Amino acid sequence: MMCAEFERGAYMPNSSGEQVSTYTASDFDLPTYQNLPVVTDDVVFSNPSFMSNEIEQMNSNLNGRLNLTDDPNLSSIILNDGMVLSTNNNLVTSSKDEFVNIEPMARDRCNTWPMRRPAEMNQTLPMSQDKIDEEISSSNSSLQKDDGSLDEYMPQHRVRRQSLYSQGSPESEIDDPACKKSNSRRNAWGNMSYADLITQAILSSPEKRLTLSQVYEWMVQNVPYFRDKGDSNSSAGWKALVPCPSHGLSVQDAPSSSYQSMTSISSSMCTGSLSHGLPSVASLDPWVSTSESQLFPYGYPHPQPSTSGSMLQIHDLVPPLRKKRIRRRNPDSIPQKKPNPWGEDSYSDLIAKALESAPGGRMKLNEIYQWFSDNVPYFKERSSQEHAAGWKNSIRHNLSLHSRFMRIQNEGAGKSSWWVINPDAKPGRNPRRRSATMETTTKTILDKKRRGVRKRMDMVNESSLSSLNESAQSQRDFLDRDEGLGASDYEPFRSRTQSNVSMPGQRMTPPMEGFEDYKFPPWSGQQISQPASGATINDLLDRTDQIRLDTEEFRQMRASGQLVHPVKTEQKNEPPSNQQPFYQELCVVRGPDNLQNPLLCNQFSMSASSAPKPASMQCASNASFYPYGVHNSQNRLWNSTNPVNSMALNSNGLPIDLENVNTFESSNLDYDMEAVLRHELNSANGLSFDL
């Protein structure tokens, strides 16, 4: 019988047929392996390689008596209940039929939940009490017929199972009720439904009632599958499923647990301490009516003998009022929430703190990693290569995602970039560089911008541009046509190739020659009037969130047929050559006499450098003005010796980044506006014509 403390086990005979050894459960270092079979059973779904690690660790706890590495023929461990722990194929199975064909399931891309709910779940949930009983009965019978035969559970069954999920003819098997019933489990933790588990949780409490948080904790403590999913994120999925009637947990679905019980739980605010008042495993009431092996065939805690418990009856539970959940917050109380396992700070908050603490306010990626490990215990405990991959990935993700952070190219060969806090970032939240999902957000953004642009266009045309009505109408026509275009026509998100940091085949931004020792001022808390750091032109250029069309300029431009200053300019005078540029000064290199999109700048410099340069256009960039990399000889960008290249202007004075690159000759307002629109749709933030 499988239970928390499996009494005895035996090593599987090796290939020579000799019995290697025997052991007792006391050899295991409890409680880590108290529920080993179940734990590893879970692992089968999520990470097959973990099985070997578990066993290796277990072996370590056995003082090396289980020498897996030196005995490749040692294929399995048999527990006395028939559970088989296979070490050579990472398969964990048991004598029970339902274990036979468990197979690691392929996960869809970005599927963060470890296993897709089996298709049959939709049919089995809601599950009636009859079905629960049937399941329990079936489970029990399968247990009883355990004969300990190993061959039955070894790889040949896996092959058979594979056909179920692979290219074979799954329909025949899937449609076979017998096949389903005998060969699969409903859930990763077993055949018990959420309703069943909740029922047992409630029954386990002395008062036959639990708060939702107590149910959560019970699940974590008593169902090994959830044991490592108790943190806020890992538990999000199953916690959402637990109390929700819409997931098939309803009165008629699971009378023993009952919708009432669950809504009762749901109505209880999760404000209490998780551990407060929760019955411990040791104090759990027994499962009346069924044995623990029936309810927890995979190693659930062994309940103590019943003394006073009785099966919870549906009528024992008082149906709660279904009212809207109200979050009450005591303004005087200090928030105790800990949204993440490491504390209240988000990744971006921690990154910001790291950067703020760094000398010069800059850090390389690996330094940020190190800061996390050094300063946050949670990450320190997970600083091994194996365990750090996830949060390091998240750090990189956050650095790239948030406009709060800014990357400055480190020009040393092979050196990673400097990361600094974007001085443009406002206190508090800042917009993401990109939206969450293309599908869900793109259309909304496009629609908003189009509406706004159209409105502004109408205003322009009605107020002062009567001579350009025809062109404006063209713009409206363009916009109307645009309605039918897909997102790809505008690419409001930075494509990889348009990124300012990762251009294919060229990760180099302008070098910082001569400025390696420049002292980066701390960014935190500074206003944008602070002196610029070593931000490179490309970094600065990409801040397209300041675009604003000056009304008078814009009108003049339009009146003259040239959209000379479509970008916000603050008409700064060129600073003294020996003065550190101010950040805003660097920002305005995107103005009419500079580029906004470094990629396009690059394009221009390489493919359109022959474009005539208006004599009136003065290059604001020179080595003294942009000491942090404006003189990129490699890319020939911002080369002070070649002002033509530094002029991101088409023949009509239109900034190239606002122009479709192949329309240099055009001075048509239609093109101008189209370019503006396109640019805006490519920019991260909203369009502001300020008309």
Taking the complex as a whole, how short is the minimal distance between the CB of residue 521 and DNA, in angstroms? 20
Cα gap 618→484, rounded to integer Å: 40
Judged on CB neighbours under 10 Å (0-12, 13-18, 19+), 456 is middle
Taking the complex as a whole, how short is the minimal distance between the CB of residue 368 and DNA, in angstroms? 8
The correct pick among 14, 162, 394, 640 for binding DNA (CB under 7 A) is: 394
Residue 621 and residue 682 in contact, taking contact as beta carbons nearer than 8 Å: no
The correct pick among 22, 275, 280, 366 for binding DNA (CB under 7 A) is: 366
Cα gap 530→514, rounded to integer Å: 21
Taking the complex as a whole, how short is the minimal distance between the CB of residue 70 and DNA, in angstroms? 24
Which residues 207-246 are close enough to bind DNA by CB under 7 A? 231-234, 236-237, 239-241
Residue 248 and residue 189 in contact, taking contact as beta carbons nearer than 8 Å: no
Task: Report if residue 416 touches DNA, rule: CB under 7 A.
Answer: yes
Residue 601 three-state SS: helix
Amino acid at site 553: E
Spell out the residues 6+ positions from residue 529 whose beta carbon is closer than 8 angstroms to its own: 582, 583, 584
Task: Report if residue 347 touches DNA, rule: CB under 7 A.
Answer: yes
Cα gap 644→612, rounded to integer Å: 8
Task: Report if residue 383 touches DNA, rule: CB under 7 A.
Answer: no
Cα gap 565→553, rounded to integer Å: 7
Which residues 241-270 are close enough to bind DNA by CB under 7 A? 241
Tally Cβ neighbours within 10 Å of residue 176: 12
Cβ closer to DNA: 154 or 445? 445
- Judged by CB under 7 A, the stretch of 179-187, 416-424, 559-567, 644-652 that binds DNA is 416-424
Cβ closer to DNA: 385 or 616? 385
Taking the complex as a whole, how short is the minimal distance between the CB of residue 365 and DNA, in angstroms? 3
Cβ closer to DNA: 113 or 478? 113
Amino acid at site 102: I
CA 298 to chain centre: 31
Distances (CA, A) of 120 to 93, 163, 542: 21, 17, 50
Task: Report if residue 334 touches DNA, rule: CB under 7 A.
Answer: no
Cα gap 303→286, rounded to integer Å: 5
Cβ closer to DNA: 40 or 500? 500
Taking the complex as a whole, how short is the minimal distance between the CB of residue 590 and DNA, in angstroms? 18
Taking the complex as a whole, how short is the minimal distance between the CB of residue 45 and DNA, in angstroms? 12
Structural tokens at position 512 = 């910082």
Taking the complex as a whole, how short is the minimal distance between the CB of residue 145 and DNA, in angstroms? 36
Cα gap 293→242, rounded to integer Å: 23
Q: What are phi and psi for residue 28, nearest 5 degrees?
A: -80, 150
Q: Using CB under 7 A as the criterion, what x/- string covers residues 485-524 for binding DNA?
A: --------xxxx-xxxxx-xxxx-----------------
Residue 361 and residue 520 in contact, taking contact as beta carbons nearer than 8 Å: yes
Residues that contact DNA, how many (by CB under 7 A): 73
The correct pick among 282, 321, 413, 615 for binding DNA (CB under 7 A) is: 413
Cβ closer to DNA: 72 or 237? 237
Cα gap 425→134, rounded to integer Å: 60
Which residues 97-156 are close enough to bind DNA by CB under 7 A? 107-113
Cβ closer to DNA: 330 or 440? 440
Cα gap 162→186, rounded to integer Å: 17
Which residues 568-607 are close enough to bind DNA by CB under 7 A? none
Taking the complex as a whole, how short is the minimal distance between the CB of residue 249 and DNA, in angstroms? 14
Taking the complex as a whole, how short is the minimal distance between the CB of residue 358 and DNA, in angstroms? 14
- Judged by CB under 7 A, the stretch of 84-92, 435-443, 514-522, 547-555 that binds DNA is 435-443
Cβ closer to DNA: 341 or 531? 341
Q: What one-character-per-residue DSSP string does 100-132 give?
A: HT--PPPPPTT--SSSPPPTTHHHH-S--HHHH
Which residues 622-651 are close enough to bind DNA by CB under 7 A? none
Cα gap 18→11, rounded to integer Å: 10
The correct pick among 308, 436, 527, 573 for binding DNA (CB under 7 A) is: 436
Task: Report if residue 398 touches DNA, rule: CB under 7 A.
Answer: yes
Task: Report if residue 451 touches DNA, rule: CB under 7 A.
Answer: no
CA atoms within 13 A on the CB side of 679: 35
Specify whether the backbone of 338 is left (phi greater than 0), alpha (psi in -120 to 50) or beta: beta
Distances (CA, A) of 326 to 10, 42, 113: 55, 36, 29
Cβ closer to DNA: 378 or 478? 378
Judged on CB neighbours under 10 Å (0-12, 13-18, 19+), 244 is middle
Taking the complex as a whole, how short is the minimal distance between the CB of residue 86 and DNA, in angstroms? 23
The correct pick among 118, 277, 320, 341 for binding DNA (CB under 7 A) is: 341
Task: Report if residue 661 touches DNA, rule: CB under 7 A.
Answer: no
Cβ closer to DNA: 475 or 632? 632
Task: Report if residue 43 touches DNA, rule: CB under 7 A.
Answer: no
Q: Using CB under 7 A as the criterion, what x/- string covers residues 292-331 for binding DNA?
A: ----------------------------------------
Cα gap 533→354, rounded to integer Å: 17
Amino acid at site 29: D
Residue 316 three-state SS: helix
Taking the complex as a whole, how short is the minimal distance between the CB of residue 262 and DNA, in angstroms? 15
The correct pick among 52, 129, 268, 348 for binding DNA (CB under 7 A) is: 348
Taking the complex as a whole, how short is the minimal distance between the CB of residue 409 and DNA, in angstroms? 8
Amino acid at site 187: N
Taking the complex as a whole, how short is the minimal distance between the CB of residue 2 and DNA, in angstroms? 28
Task: Report if residue 433 touches DNA, rule: CB under 7 A.
Answer: yes
Cβ closer to DNA: 49 or 232? 232
The correct pick among 148, 206, 319, 390 for binding DNA (CB under 7 A) is: 390
